[in-house]
């Protein structure tokens, strides 16, 4: 891995500015040069980002059918799509993106675009079971690409992450030309999937576009991730486990804004290009924790500092001017209001998250945090 300090990139020092085109067009219509799609295959559509993406398409693209393919592993939850399960333009298929026969058969049902949101995505789990991440996040992408190779009219959007860039120096923002330097197994699999997808474009002429988004939050967020974990712990009267000194820095975007960006990339993104997606709003994990504490009427006594995880990247920050300038996309939600709404959603939907935080999840939680709590630097 290249040390962060050795990178030279003028774009990283530029300020984050909004584009000149209105986001409204992406909600009620499409830019004049945008493509329309009759049938989109969304993989991972019962997961956090996937289920919100399916809803966004059904609400804002009334001409589009959605086939939703999900293996329903631990984070893929049928309850995430219960309200749209019988929607006339939505069809759910229980299956794995690594299943070549299934993927090919679905593409033959008139699919003209694939948005691949299927992935193992939790960094902590990648440190324990890297093989599962490679199998799905890389192997599954290859299966989809091989299927599209025989059907080259299909557009492919690979949903990636800002983590592929690795940890950034202070005050830097990376644009899409920043060299990848993934700092954990999860990020490495996402970087590998990007390279694989672009290699298929170069070798076989496939229509491939890449998205790279910052951290998401919002409804249906699996409670192993920081924001839903902290909210649900506090609602249960439990302390929240904060890694290290809490000064790791992340940008946060509401999942609905991520979904609108993905559709903008699908419809108007240039083939072979990558697009950063960010709100431009970032803060340290400690600052975020205190915002959640304030919203739920708690104080710092509810924080339990735990041993940091291995290879915990210090700072991510994106320059997302490209998607604003080229596609007219801008985020609509701000962190303050979005975080409040997210807390309210978890308060109102206890019947959704409480069953998740039992059984296998409880075993994982103990495995993940028990030893770190013993060596906590409080």
Residues involved in catalysis: 162-163, 186
By C-alpha distance, which of 48, 69, 53, 57 is closest to 121?
Answer: 48
By C-alpha distance, which of 59, 41, 57 is closest to 118?
Answer: 41
**CA 37/CA 66 separation, integer angstroms:** 10
Q: Which residues of 57-66 are buried (b: 16+ CB within 10 A; e: fewer)?
A: bbebbeebbb
User: How many degrees, rounded to 5, is the angle at CA 155 between CA 103 and CA 51?
Assistant: 65
353 by DSSP, 3-state: which? helix
By C-alpha distance, which of 214, 194, 221, 256 is closest to 54?
Answer: 256
User: How many degrees, rounded to 5, is the angle at CA 80 between CA 116 and CA 118?
Assistant: 15
Q: Counting Cβ atoms within 10 Å, is residue 242 exposed (0-12), middle (13-18) or buried (19+)?
A: buried
User: How many degrees, rounded to 5, is the angle at CA 147 between CA 146 and CA 152?
Assistant: 95
Q: Residue 247 carries which DSSP code?
A: -
By C-alpha distance, which of 130, 127, 128 is closest to 139?
Answer: 130
Cβ contacts of 359 within 8 Å, gap of 6 or more: none
Sheet strand arrangement including 65-70: 90-94, 65-70, 39-43, 113-116, 155-161, 207-213, 274-277
Q: What is the CA radius of gyration of the chain?
A: 20
**CA 177/CA 335 separation, integer angstroms:** 27
274 by DSSP, 3-state: which? strand
**CA 336/CA 331 separation, integer angstroms:** 13
Q: Counting Cβ atoms within 10 Å, is residue 127 exposed (0-12), middle (13-18) or buried (19+)?
A: middle
**CA 283/CA 217 separation, integer angstroms:** 14
């Amino acid at each position: 891995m290249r040390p962060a300090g050795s990178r030279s990139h003028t774009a990283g020092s530029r300020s984050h500015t909004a584009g000149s085109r209105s986001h409204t067009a992406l909600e009620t219509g499409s830019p004049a040069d945008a493509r329309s799609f009759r049938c989109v295959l969304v993989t991972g559509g019962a997961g956090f980002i996937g289920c919100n993406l399916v809803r966004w398409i059904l609400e804002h693209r009334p001409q589009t059918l959605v086939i939703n393919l999900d293996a329903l592993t631990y984070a893929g939850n049928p309850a995430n799509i219960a309200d749209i399960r019988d929607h006339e333009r939505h069809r759910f298929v229980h299956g794995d993106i690594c299943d070549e026969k299934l993927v090919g058969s679905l593409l033959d049902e008139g699919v003209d675009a694939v948005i691949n949101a299927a992935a193992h995505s939790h960094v902590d789990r990648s440190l324990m079971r890297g093989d599962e991440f490679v199998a799905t996040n890389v192997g599954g992408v290859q299966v989809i690409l091989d299927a599209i190779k025989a059907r080259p009219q299909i557009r492919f959007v690979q949903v990636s992450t800002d983590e592929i860039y690795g940890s950034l120096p202070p005050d830097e923002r990376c644009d899409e030309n920043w060299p990848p330097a993934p700092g954990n197994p999860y990020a490495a699999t996402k970087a590998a999937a990007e390279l694989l997808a672009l290699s298929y474009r170069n070798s076989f002429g496939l229509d491939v576009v890449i998205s790279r988004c910052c951290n998401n939050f919002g409804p249906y967020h699996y409670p192993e991730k920081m924001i839903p974990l902290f909210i649900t712990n506090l609602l249960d009267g439990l302390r929240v486990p904060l890694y290290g000194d809490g000064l790791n820095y992340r940008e946060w975007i509401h999942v609905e804004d991520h979904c609108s960006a993905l559709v903008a990339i699908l419809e108007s993104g240039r083939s072979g290009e990558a697009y950063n997606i960010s709100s431009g709003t970032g803060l340290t994990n400690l600052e975020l924790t205190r915002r959640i504490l304030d919203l739920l009427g708690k104080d710092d006594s509810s924080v339990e500092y735990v041993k940091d995880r291995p290879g915990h990247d210090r700072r991510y920050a994106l320059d997302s001017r490209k998607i604003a300038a080229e596609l007219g996309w801008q985020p609509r939600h701000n962190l303050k209001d979005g975080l409040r709404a997210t807390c309210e959603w978890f308060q109102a939907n206890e019947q959704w998250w409480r069953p998740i935080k039992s059984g296998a999840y409880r075993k994982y939680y103990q495995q993940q945090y028990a030893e770190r709590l013993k060596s906590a630097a409080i």
